[in-house]
Chains A and B, each alone.
Chain A
Amino acid sequence: MNYHWDWQFFFQEADDGLKYYEWVISGLGWTTAVSLASLAVALLLGSVLGVMRTTPTRWLVAIGDAYVDVFRNVPLIIQLFLWFFVVPELVPEKMGIWMKQDLPYIVTAVVGLGLYTAARIAEQVKSGINALPRGQRFAGLALGFTEWQTYRYVRLPMAYRIVLPALTSEAMNIFKNSAVTYAVGILELYFQYKQIIEKTSQVLEITIVVTLAYFTLAFVMNRLLAFVEKRTRVPGLISGTGGK
């Protein structure tokens, strides 16, 4: 194979005065920032939608269901393009100009990725709430709780702990999905990967490094949430007794 291996290039200086390994690190930083911020958006909105879909109020269920259907059936890259290039044209002109000129890219990207992931989180939260015996809600109501209080004090604390493994995989997915935001100009890890290949052609070295970086991110996220999972285990459930 006439491929020329060269691991030294990471320490060479690029056009902007930074070294290539610094590009990788900065990409890693942006990937982490975009992913965590989107995860926060997704968890918040996904929880609200998930709860809405389990309420007895018909129209709330309808809104929640419609949201999930729309956001799950359009590819992520197209959703991001819609937020960047289509929505600014549809809103009132002044707001459109503001979105195009003053709103930082990262905000739009985080909102886009967050809203996309929220649909998935909503599914998990809903299934978590539905996994509880309905007696839990009745018990709450019998204690004089309002509908909202049964969520706040009885059902959600259980539901989250039940679906935590599923949420863990969503949290890992969001790191992978954040790579797609390169297409709308976020300088995250995949963007830097692409750029380094264009500048240096050292495809194999950079592929190995970036792959390991994504591995590490997924692994850290996984361990972190496994720790949370262990701490919040519900005693008495199959998962709570370690399968015994």
Chain B
Amino acid sequence: MSDFDFSVITANWHFLAEGLRYTLQVTVTAMIGGIFLGTLLALMRLSSIKPLQWFAAGYVNFFRSVPLVQVILAVYLILPLILQFVTGKLIPIGAENSAYFTFTIFEAAYYSEIMRSGIQSVPRGQIAAGYALGFTYGQTMRLVVLPQAFRNMLPVLLTQTIVLFQDVSLVYAIGATDFFGAADKITQRDLRPVEMYTTVAVVYFVICFALSRLVKRLQARIAIIR
């Protein structure tokens, strides 16, 4: 422990910071895309049209029962095959880019379950009130139900985002250079596992711990008093 070499960290901080930036980019992209897709899936699941319900249920259950690392690798390998089939030419995607897509479709399944319980937490009378005002289904959802569902579920959505932020480290499986990947690559070169892995662990801890405390405070502040 006494020979903990801080210079390894300072010498490589630029590379680590690049990795962290990529991790944050994937997190934010997958959060926005995932919540959007997830909300659509939740609406499908709660709609009265049977095939839509089946599709949404199948989608969610599928992604919730396979390990994320497997999905990351499978999409990375299969997406080019599909693109080649559709467009007829070979398009190299790259590990970094495929992760954006994977995390968006994967997290959509988890966000959709959160949005579903959010929508279900809105009193039924709100929908009736929307229709009574002459709103269409779309308007009722967009202007009445979803804003409330979103507000009710905001802490849970953010907690899921913290989980997502941690899960981005699994792009290790396809060799993308995220925060952890960057640290791992430096370790392979400089053979300083203690410094590198500890740094990543500490930074992850500080960020996630701070965010989860913020979510807790937010939860107390935005709770609707009924």
A contact residues vs B (CB 8 Å cutoff): 1, 3, 69-70, 72-79, 81-82, 85-86, 89-90, 172, 175-180, 182-183, 190, 193-194, 197, 203-204, 207, 210-211, 214-215, 218-219
Are B77 and A180 neighbours in the complex by a CB distance under 8 Å? no
A76 CA / B180 CA spacing, docked (Å): 11
Let me know if A89 and B67 touch, CB within 8 A: no
Identity of the chain A residue whose Cβ is nearest the Cβ of B204 in the assembled complex = A74
Give the residue name and chain of the A residue nearest to B65 (CB): A218
20 more contacts with CB within 8 A, not counting A85-B197, A203-B78, A215-B65, are: A72-B212, A75-B169, A75-B170, A78-B200, A85-B194, A86-B197, A89-B193, A90-B1, A176-B68, A177-B67, A179-B69, A180-B170, A190-B70, A193-B70, A193-B73, A203-B77, A207-B70, A211-B74, A214-B66, A214-B70
B27 to chain A, nearest CB (A): 12
Docked pose: A180 CA to B81 CA in angstroms = 25
Contacts of A70 on B, CB cut-off 8 Å? 205
Question: In the complex, are the beta carbons of A190 and B67 less than 8 A apart?
Answer: yes
Q: Enumerate chain B interface residues (CB-CB to A < 8 A).
A: 1, 65-70, 73-74, 77-78, 81, 84-85, 162, 166-167, 169-170, 172-173, 180, 184, 187, 193-194, 197-198, 200-201, 204-205, 208-209, 212
- Report how far A69 CA is from B210 CA in the complex, Å: 10
Which of A77, A82, A86, A197 lies in contact with B170, CB distance below 8 A? A77
Q: Are A73 and B74 in contact (CB under 8 A)?
A: no
By a CB distance below 8 angstroms, the chain B residues around A89 are 193-194
Can you offer 22 A-B residue contacts whose CB atoms are under 8 A?
A3-B81, A73-B204, A73-B205, A73-B212, A75-B170, A78-B197, A81-B193, A82-B198, A89-B193, A172-B65, A176-B67, A176-B68, A180-B69, A193-B73, A194-B173, A197-B73, A204-B81, A207-B77, A207-B78, A211-B66, A211-B70, A215-B66
Q: Which of B67, B172, B194, B197 contacts A183 (CB 8 A)?
A: B172
Tell me if B65 and A77 are in contact (CB < 8 A): no
Tell which of B67, B170, B193, B208 touches A85, judged by Cβ atoms closer than 8 Å.
Answer: B193
- Partner of A203 from B74, B172, B187, B197 at Cβ < 8 Å: B74
Q: A95 to nearest B CB, angstroms?
A: 13
Q: Which residue of A lies closest to B170 (CB)?
A: A77
Nearest-neighbor residue (CB-CB) of B76 within chain A: A203
Other-chain residue from A74, A215, A218 in contact with B201 (beta carbon distance below 8 A)? A74
A82 B1 Cβ-Cβ under 8 A = no
- Residues in B with CB closer than 8 Å to A1 are 81, 84-85
Docked pose: A211 CA to B70 CA in angstroms? 8
Pairwise interchain contact B1-A197, C-beta atoms closer than 8 A: no
Contact A75 B180 (CB under 8 A): yes
* A193-B70, A204-B78, A214-B70 as given contacts; A78 in contact with B169, CB under 8 Å: yes
Contact B74 A207 (CB under 8 A): yes
Instruction: Please determine whether B78 and A77 come into contact, CB atoms closer than 8 angstroms.
Output: no
Most buried by A among B74, B85, B184: B74
Minimum CB–CB distance for B210 against chain A, Å: 9
Known interface pairs A77-B180, A82-B198, A190-B70. Does A197 touch B77 (Cβ–Cβ under 8 Å)?
yes
CA–CA, A89 and B4, complex, Å: 11
Residues of B within 8 A of A178 (CB): 67
Task: Please indicate the chain B residues that have their CB under 8 angstroms from the CB of A75 in the complex.
Answer: 166-167, 169-170, 180, 204
Nearest A residue to B193 via CB reads A85
Q: Nearest chain A CB to B26's CB is how many angstroms away? A: 13
Shortest CB distance A136–B (Å): 27
From A72, A78, A176, A203, B66 is in contact (CB under 8 Å) with A176
Measured CA separation A194–B209 after assembly (Å): 33
